[in-house]
Amino acid sequence: MLYSEKVMDHFTNPRNVGKLDDADGVGEVGNAKCGDIMKIYLKIDGDVITDVKFNTFGCGSAIATSSMATEMIKGKPLSEALELTNKAVVEALDGLPPQKIHCSVLAEEAVKAAIKDYFDNTGKEYDPALFKGGHSCDNCCNG
């Protein structure tokens, strides 16, 4: 089978879909390869992500990885969420077909963009190197 049961589960029944009107950080990224877009909303209390929602205008793999990524960062400290990699999300989904790996990059980058937005909104100091690299819009489309 092309897709794992976990991918099918998160695709057909995605967790944390929607938006948070009172989000503390919002991250939106586009996938340069296919033009798909993902938006993630974070509610942050102290240093912990207390709630997260996402909207993805993308393929099934993008939806499944967004869903899994939100599950993996909910209730976690920001430092842990910043360490979330697309590889870890793909592993948690029991893999993706090689040609769909690029879809998982959206989730990692949207989480990072939302945390950066929170830092910027609250004037918190951070190491800009944390947000370098990858394929977010900041780095390739608008940069």
Distance separating alpha carbons of residues 70 and 75, to the nearest angstrom: 10
1, 36, 73, 94 from 9: Cα distances, Å:
14, 21, 18, 12
Of 13-21, 44-52, 53-61, 112-120, the window that binds ligand FES (rule: CB under 6 A) is: 53-61
Binding of ligand FES at residue 59 (CB under 6 A)?
Answer: yes
Among 62, 73, 96, 114, binds ligand FES (CB under 6 A): 62
Burial profile 2-36: b = 16 or more Cβ within 10 angstroms, e = fewer: ebbeebebbbeebbbeeebeebbbbbbbbbeeeeb
Please indicate whether residue 103 is annotated as part of the active site. Answer: yes
Residues 95-134, one symbol each (x = binds ligand FES by CB under 6 A, - = not), give: --------x--x----------------------------
Residue 34 designated active-site:
yes
Residue 25 interacting with ligand FES (CB under 6 A):
no
85: tokens are 């990699």
Please state the closest distance from residue 106 (CB atom) to ligand FES, in A.
6
Q: Which of residues 8 and 48 has its CB atom nearest to ligand FES in the complex?
A: 8
Report strand pairing: 25-30 vs 37-45: antiparallel
- CA gap 55, 81 in Å, rounded: 18
Contacting positions for ligand FES (CB under 6 A): 31, 34, 36, 58-59, 61-62, 103, 106
Q: Which residues are known catalytic residues?
A: 34, 103
